[in-house]
Structure 1
């Protein structure tokens, strides 16, 4: 009996020690964000017709995030509200529609460490729930942070990391509600917005495999991404969604590294299978960028992006950059691969990017783009009815960090458009202005508190 009591006391002491250890190592991070952005839009996304007035508004993102980190588990939660100043009345509004309801759950996930913490050189974990997915330079998979609502996915991701290597496998399966029978999914969301930034349908499901390796001053990776879209048939010009899916696969490589004063970035991806309309697909993306660092504070570089377009018989050659961040690559005015479509002729983008960063307090950037269609586009009513140039864009931005938690950012962009860009087969803007302007001022406040 004495031995039994002694064992029980020892077990209780051990459990108490474990509990104290977990409590002492637990950490709670509370992060908030208030980001306002005032924009002057005089042809952002697409040129405006002559005599069309410019738009001026202020949008706001408000976030409250919690991150709890303890023994072999992390929990993340982010509540977000994204709206335009004045879209609600200044008193209690009982008539706000679902279209204007910007309050939502942006993230809610748990990450479980499946290996013991004693293993320092490798780890296996599983992250499940609503989460942001960010890989490489975010060209194909990113959180789209520029948009006030950003992007997230309801998914599970298994992660294995060892020294300089990482292997991630993810899966998602979408449904509109808790069905009693069947798995037919309607990808058209409620409200006046598209399901994705590219104006396409929401995926029914996806699976991906990502393998990456850290380099001395960069990384290299391989991606295999498969997304499925609900099949449908047309009934009196209305899409009727049905059982089954069309599957699209995207695969390729990414490389980024710096050698002395020269930085290089390159990527190549191939897309095949069927798109969201059930059309056979064969498309690709090639990208290359070389940057030279004259000093620690000044750098400039030149690059080219090429995405295929057009069609070959019944096969589409139009590449879709999946769920990335197009604002980061194809001009800050979001003319290409954003919500405003530009046809299916693909894109060639020759660009020069310059950055001046004398300190962590402030920096300036200046970019110049020459945009062209990858495939010839017919312009009705013109003698030379096969053109390629869309025009040129100039982007200038500046950022000033008041403190580590407060920053002010501003920018101006101008687009010199061509008749091809505004033609019926591209943006379809009759009697369009020859030039477009866009300017913004953004205040970003991000306080963070850590409790141990």
Structure 2
């Protein structure tokens, strides 16, 4: 029997940004705005075939003039196709999924859908999926082009829209192998970036050849209590420099009864210069390195690498309510102090399909963080704030 489902999502988020992403200079005024994600998701399943389609619109309230039928600025057009994929059964244990899709693996550190960002992240890719006797094996690939060319494979990344968590350009092609058995998984990922030359006016001329970067490593999770990860990155950076970098992570979560959990952990990424700076690829950094997105998200921090020592607590008095408090102490890979961040969040499920979430974050930065070689903020304030309130309405419209 075929099954069809249709769901919707309307998620608004009002933010107060008073130093989110990087400290503001003294005298700068905070920003306040409301963004909105509007999604419609359809799914179809029958024996041997699944289809998925998600269309979405992401805008800031007031972005469009209220009396015209187009956006005020073409670059702000937020209507797009987020997902459009088909998955077919080749045999019982082997499927092929092809089209625009999210790639989410392990804890989403290196491959995630970046759901916190209103527009999220997706890939135009093909994915071969194999599962047998507890083994999971995925082989994926993507090859990007700007248009239907008559000759050549020159790819010009879209400028102004960083494609990964470290601000790099969009990849020209990508391949990965993922193998998982019980608590342990292995990832090998290669992504290629178009080579380029720069003319006298600093304009890039893209070439058909590409630099190759590779990332490989292991992820281990035991009953969601102990989490360990180690990854090594090598090859070339998107700018063509020789690369040797690493990421190490360890965390332990302990439940205290049924209502409270506490977690302690450390993340370490190499850095100091571009050739040793680890790039967290296409993950969800907001989940790991502080809610104010100072590292691997909003603005660069000089390829300094990162040490993050953190404590997290979560109290859930009922199935509807939860409150969390996270504290991070950040250092560069060379142990220079970046600062301290505290994140307080609370959420309540108002209805089966309606959730309300809010949070407040405070960052106490150091002079080193705002120095020219890191964030490069002159006359920076030492204390920064960020707050948000989000309403998430996600009903199931139809299922048959």
| Cα shift at 1:451 | 3.1
* Alpha-carbon contact 1:397-1:412 (below 8 Å) kept: yes
Rounded Cα–Cα distance in structure 2 between residues aligned with 1:294 and 1:180: 64
Structure 1 partner of 2:179: 211
SS of alignment partner, residue 133 of structure 1: coil
Alignment correspondent of 1:57: 33
Q: Deviations over 1:315-367 (max 9, x none)?
A: 81000000000000000000000031111110000000111112220101100
Q: Could you tell me how far 1:251 is from its partner in structure 2? A: 0.2
Map of 2:219 onto structure 1: 254
| Secondary structure, aligned partner of 2:368 | coil
What is the CA deviation profile of residues 412-438 of structure 1, one whole-angstrom value per residue up to 9, with x for unaligned ones? 000000000100001000000110000
Q: Do the aligned residues in 1 keep the contact of 2:64 with 2:71 (CA within 8 Å)?
A: no
Is the contact made by 1:253 and 1:267 (CA closer than 8 Å) also made in structure 2? yes
Root mean square deviation, CA, Å: 1.3
Is 1:76 aligned to 2:52, yes or no? yes
User: Given that residues 48 and 429 in structure 1 are in contact (C-alpha distance below 8 angstroms), is that contact kept between their aligned partners in structure 2?
Assistant: yes
CA contact (8 A) 1:202 1:229 kept: yes
Give 1:160-171 correspondences, 5 Å limit.
160-171=130-141
**Structure 1 Cα separation of the partners of residues 119 and 395 of structure 2:** 19
1:231 — aligned with what? Answer: 195
Deviations 1:289-337 (A, max 9, x none): 01111112111121100000024xxx81000000000000000000000
> 1:38 corresponds to which residue?
14
- Whether the 8 Å CA contact 2:211–2:238 is kept in 1: the answer is yes
User: For 2:347, which of 369, 393, 399 is the aligned residue?
Assistant: 399
Is there any run of 5+ residues in structure 2 with no aligned partner, and where? none
User: What is the match of residue 18 of structure 1?
Assistant: none
Kept in 1: contact 2:42–2:53 (CA 8 A): yes
Deviation string for 1:4-53 (max 9, x for gaps)?
Answer: xxxxxxxxxxxxxxxxxxxxx11111010000000000000000000100
- Residue 124 (str. 1) matches residue 94 (str. 2): yes
Secondary structure class of the residue paired with 1:99: helix
Aligned runs of 1:29-428 on 2, under 5 Å?
Answer: 29-94=5-70, 96-116=72-92, 123-189=93-159, 192-214=160-182, 219-236=183-200, 237-258=202-223, 263-311=225-273, 316-375=275-334, 388-428=336-376
2: CA distance between counterparts of 1:91 and 1:198?
39
Aligned residues: 399
Q: Deviations over 1:378-422 (max 9, x none)?
A: xxxxxxxxxx10000000101100122100000000000000010
Q: Could you list the runs of 5+ residues in structure 1 that have no partner in the other structure?
A: 1-24, 117-122, 377-387
> How far does the alpha carbon of each residue in 1:110-138 deviate from its partner, in whole angstroms, 9 at most, with x for none?
0001114xxxxxx2100000000000000
Return the alpha-carbon distance in structure 1 between the equivalents of residues 298 and 131 of structure 2.
36
Contact 2:14-2:32 within 8 A present in 1 as well: yes
Q: Is the 8 A contact 1:188 1:195 kept in 2?
A: no
Distance (whole Å) between structure 1 residues aligned to residue 70 and residue 57 of structure 2: 18
CA distance in structure 2 between the partners assigned to 1:393 and 1:59 by the alignment: 24
For residues 44 and 3 of structure 2, what CA distance do their matches in structure 1 show? 6
TM-score, scaled to structure 1? 0.86
SS of the residue 1:185 aligns to: coil
Report the secondary structure of 1:65's partner residue: strand
Contact 1:194/1:339 (8 A) holds in 2:
no
Distance 2:70 2:352 in 1: 39
Distance (Å, rounded) in 2 between the aligned partners of 1:34 and 1:281: 42
Q: Distance in 2 between matches of 1:291 and 1:112?
A: 38
Q: Does 1:451 align with 2:399?
A: yes
Matched-pair contact (CA < 8 Å) for 1:187–1:195: no
Post-superposition offset of 1:450? 3.9
Distance across 2 between alignment mates of 1:114 and 1:94: 44
Contact 1:198 1:337 in 2 (8 A): yes
